[in-house]
Amino acid sequence: MDRFLNELSLFAPAVVFNIYFALASIPLGFIFAVFLALGKASDNVLVNRLSRGFIYAFRGSPLFIQFFMIYSMMLALNIGFWKPWGISWFVLHPLFIGPLVLVLNTAAYTAEIFYGALRAVPRGEVEAARAYGMSKSQQFRRVVWPNLIRLAWPAYTNEVVFLFHATALVYLALPVVGQQMDLMITAKQLFERDYNAVLHYSAAALYFLAVSLTIFFIFGLIYARLMRHMPAPPRMRFKPKWIR
């Protein structure tokens, strides 16, 4: 038991990195996803094609390959751009590239969720808003967006949990700088030291499970707040779906 508590304390600094990656990429990915979803629903052929292509490419390929691809591209641009500009220490750092790739990836998945919700917004409500003489932006802010976010929230919660799981891949694909190690690398290093797979990996798994449940709890509270006008607010259940 003592050994297990000790093990958990070893992982405590590591989980900070996973949380950092998730926190850094969730807000940006959210904003990017809104624009992508609107782009996919847009009538402009170019915008429509571009957003569709982006969403398809990043949903259709493994995150692991995306990490390698974007990191190697950044490396290839190093001599031409980053070095002369003197920012290579920053641009090539895993703490920058990790969130960058995660943002691109989660934006594609989230945009697909938002696009589905956008199409499910009741047509009558939009028509009523038009009949009231609301401008396009008013329609979006007052009618479409509130509907969209409520429809999309349960699926978006799953996406955030999966994004947190995806942070496990960051340091498996990118170089580890100094002592900056996330849960997976810590587990791997401890495993290579004493070959106790069950102990180390289950400690890491417990951390992942705990943070996932926390995310779920917080997002459930937000959902309850979003749905406070409903007579009996629908409850969310911890049910990671197969969307991703």
Residues of this chain that interact with other proteins (CB under 8 A) are 56-57, 59-66, 68-69, 72-73, 75-76, 165-166, 168-169, 172, 184, 187-188, 191, 193-195, 197-198, 201, 204-205, 208-209, 212-213, 238-244
Q: How far apart are CA 225 and CA 233, in angstroms?
A: 9
Nearer to other proteins, 34 or 204 (CB): 204
Residue 77, number of CB atoms within 10 A of its CB: 14
At 39, list the tokens: 């782009």
Residue 142, number of CB atoms within 10 A of its CB: 13
Nearer to other proteins, 40 or 244 (CB): 244
At its nearest, how many Å lie between other proteins and the CB of residue 10?
16
**Could you give the C-alpha distances from 16 to 6, 12, 20, 105, 217, in angstroms and in order?**
17, 7, 6, 21, 19
Nearer to other proteins, 64 or 81 (CB): 64
Are 81 and 89 spatial neighbours (Cβ–Cβ below 8 Å)?
no
Burial of 240 (0-12, 13-18, 19+ CB in 10 A): middle
At its nearest, how many Å lie between other proteins and the CB of residue 111?
16
Nearer to other proteins, 126 or 206 (CB): 206
Residue 129, number of CB atoms within 10 A of its CB: 18
Nearer to other proteins, 32 or 207 (CB): 207
Q: What is the DSSP letter of 80?
A: I
Are 159 and 113 spatial neighbours (Cβ–Cβ below 8 Å)?
yes
Nearer to other proteins, 38 or 187 (CB): 187
At 103, list the tokens: 């943002």
At its nearest, how many Å lie between other proteins and the CB of residue 169?
6
Are 107 and 37 spatial neighbours (Cβ–Cβ below 8 Å)?
no
Taken as a whole, the chain contains a residue count of 244
At its nearest, how many Å lie between other proteins and the CB of residue 157?
14
At its nearest, how many Å lie between other proteins and the CB of residue 183?
8
